[in-house]
Every structure is written in structure tokens, then in C-alpha cells.
Amino acid sequence: MALLPNTVSLLRMIVTLSLEEAAQALGAFSGNALTVSHANVRAAELEEIMCLVPQAEEPIFGAHFALSGAIDGSILALFHWRDSQLLLETVLGGCSERFDALDPMELSVLAEASNILVSAFLCQLEQQCNVEITLHPPAVAVEMASAVVSAAVMPIVEAEGELLLIDALLTPRRTCGQAAACHLFFLPTQSTWTQLLGPFPTHRTMAAVGRG
């Protein structure tokens, strides 16, 4: 079975609104206005997740947030090195030369950027579905992308569920068009995902989000 068009449209609206709010918050945080472009949302089976990670064998910054309340599961925010550099330069005016040299302030900035993106998405989800979701403090890591994603998926790997992949480009005003790519992996357990989408129009399953 598949999501009908009304549900697909609603999910995409949630993503678009949340990313616009996150861009405003990130702009206030950095002192440099940001715009969002190329926002995309699609669904995939959990077993496909490693195929969805860009540059899986390169170092990446990951912030893994546990969720509770209306949703049991987690959400993972990922930034590759080039994108992390751009965010850090936007906020701090410069950054270390490589991931393994990031200082606590730089890691804190990336964690806060992740928190802003994730919080905005969950806030829209709460409003549209009339539920309450608790976002727990993240576990932050700089590792190979494959290792970061595997650690996030491990607690729910036994569930033959699905995930929602959200991608977008964030462009700070003062970077001559350079954009930072952000990737969010929304990983609810299948039972809570089904419960969450119950109020959506003509919901059946999320298998067709972004497919076809």
C-alpha cells in the first residue's frame, strides 16, 4: 500500500515550513541571514539506509537525538566536512582545518545548528498531528558516516520499519552562493509512526513518500 497524495503533500508541507523556521533561527543564531533551497523528503526501508548516506566512508558530524512521547525512535542530523566548515565560518568567522581538530566551541555550534533543525521539524509535526514529542539531548560524534548512521539505527534494527530522509541546502547571505547541505534521518519505530500518521488524510503507509 502507499501514501495517497494528500498525505504526501502534508509531509512535504511540514518539512518546508520547518526548514524555513530553522533557517530564520539559524540566521538569528549566526547573525547572517540564511535561505533554504532544494528541500526534499522521501521514505525508505531501514535496510536501505546505508545506501542513502552521502559519502558513507568519509568523516561526518552527527547529532543523534532520542525521541519519546508520541514517538519512540530517534532523529539523526548529519553534516559533512565542507558543510560543517561553511556553518562554522558563518557563525564563528573561521574554523579548524579538519574534523579531528574541532574544539569544544566548534562542536557546540554544530550541535546547536542540528538542534535548531531537528526542533523546527518536530514542532511542525506536533502542530500538524496534535501530539507531544519529547526531544532528548543529543549524542554528538565525529566519525565515518557509516559508523554514525549504524549506531543510530542499531536500537531499532529489529523493526522492519521505514525512515524519512530530509535533505536541504542552507545558503548564508554572505558566502557568495555557497550552500551547506543538511541531512536529517527521521527514525520512528513502525508502531509509533503508524500511530502518528493516523490523523493524516487517508493514511495507509509511508512507503510511497518521495517515490515515483
Of 30-44, 50-64, 108-122, 176-190, give the range with the top mean pLDDT.
108-122
Predicted confidence at residue 203, as pLDDT, reads 39
Predicted confidence at residue 190, as pLDDT, reads 67
pTM of the model: 0.82
Predicted confidence at residue 160, as pLDDT, reads 53
Domains of the chain, earliest start first: 5-197 (3.40.1550.10)
User: At 13, is the pLDDT very low, low, confident or very high (cuts 50, 70, 90)?
Assistant: confident
Q: Which of 81, 89, 131, 123 is nearest to 109 (CA)?
A: 89
Q: What is the pLDDT of residues 31-52, one digit of tens each?
A: 878 888 888 888 777 767 777 6
